[in-house]
Amino acid sequence: MTPRRELTEAEIITRFFAHPAPRRRDLLLGIGDDAAVTRLAAGYDLVTAVDAVFEGVHFPRGTPAQAVGHRCLAVNLSDLAAMGAEPLWATLALALPAADARWLGGFARGFGALADAWRVALIGGDTVRGPLGMSVTVHGRVRPGRFVQRCGARPGDGLYVTGNPGDAVAGRLLLDQPRRGSAVAALRRRFLYPEPRLREGRLLARVASAMLDVSDGLHDDAGKLLAASGVGADLDVGQLPLSTALRAVAGEERGRVLALTGGDDYELLFTVPARHERLLARLVRGWSCGVARLGTVSGRQGLRWRLDGRRFGFADRTYRHFAAGRR
């Protein structure tokens, strides 16, 4: 049997990633040269984010290639959403143990479908041999000074979250289990195909005093936002927006812990001053992801979770790359 010839780097780029980019006046030169050339429209600031995604750390071995392609772009677009930015361009550095055409085809479909949905132009990158992983850099734009940071929360602000935290980590835990059913399928999809809240983030920039995306778990990320702002909060576990699917699969108690410590949600956690609450109610009307108020920011530093007026204790198993922890 004749051994199968591996694709060259040039063939990978031409075959899988050199499809026509969305027509954009701000893209002067895309894939095919030593570097891309872009032009930011007058009256905008540039917002840049980068995330690395590796097999065995961010997704388990055997994850469908299309989901990997979607996820590696989605997690970066989520960072732009948290800043209230509009996405423009992306670059992709891809490490592959082998140039598998079938895997590359699935990966490119997942990446390309999400890029097309948000008119994100893939403008360059690199392909190398190595452990399966990828690093994506995304660029977006905001009007001058209109970006939202995580350090603007003030005492009296309400603290809110979009969507249903806990679904994604439950979906990850279910990937290698034989369980079936619509609830299980919904949770798996929430992990495999996270939805960056870009549209919501740009609207929330009108009212939010602070914002970040929930990637490391609601408890951990809420602590980051509050610490950056020099404030604290009293939050109600009973207000966690647990999905019907999560309740059905994990139950109420386990679902709450997954929501607090699970990670991979890529929802938006944000604070809103009382004077903007009516506008917030109008902005979120009709959103498919929903928004829940978890509590109120206070001048007393620290994060306190309560249930029925009593302190809610739980084991913080949030995954941390350079510390003991479990996902």
Cα(297)–Cα(299) distance, rounded to whole angstroms? 7
- The verdict on 76 and 123 lying in the same domain is yes
pLDDT reported for residue 317: 65
Residue 316 lies in a domain: no
Residue 326 lies in a domain: no
- The verdict on 259 and 189 lying in the same domain is yes
CATH number at residue 20: 3.30.1330.10
pLDDT reported for residue 169: 94
pLDDT reported for residue 27: 87
pLDDT reported for residue 24: 78
Q: Which tokens is 240 given?
A: 């966690």
Full residue range of the structural domain in which residue 98 is found: 9-29+36-142
CB 145 within 8 A of CB 85: no
- The verdict on 85 and 202 lying in the same domain is no
CB 306 within 8 A of CB 234: yes
Cα(264)–Cα(194) distance, rounded to whole angstroms? 8
Q: Taking the model in full, what pTM does it have?
A: 0.90
Residue 122 lies in a domain: yes
Series of mean pLDDT values for 10-residue runs along the chain (327 residues): 64 71 78 87 95 89 95 97 97 92 94 95 91 96 95 97 96 88 95 96 97 94 96 96 96 94 94 97 93 96 92 71 44
- The verdict on 93 and 234 lying in the same domain is no
- The verdict on 211 and 168 lying in the same domain is yes
Backbone angles phi, psi at 231, to 5 degrees: -135, -175
Q: 111, 142, 173 — which closes off a domain?
A: 142
CATH number at residue 171: 3.90.650.10
- The verdict on 84 and 169 lying in the same domain is no
CB 93 within 8 A of CB 126: yes
- Domain count within the chain: 2
- The verdict on 41 and 114 lying in the same domain is yes
Cα(165)–Cα(257) distance, rounded to whole angstroms? 10
- The verdict on 120 and 253 lying in the same domain is no
Residue 116 lies in a domain: yes
pLDDT reported for residue 13: 74
Q: 142, 170, 193 — which closes off a domain?
A: 142
Cα(236)–Cα(293) distance, rounded to whole angstroms? 9
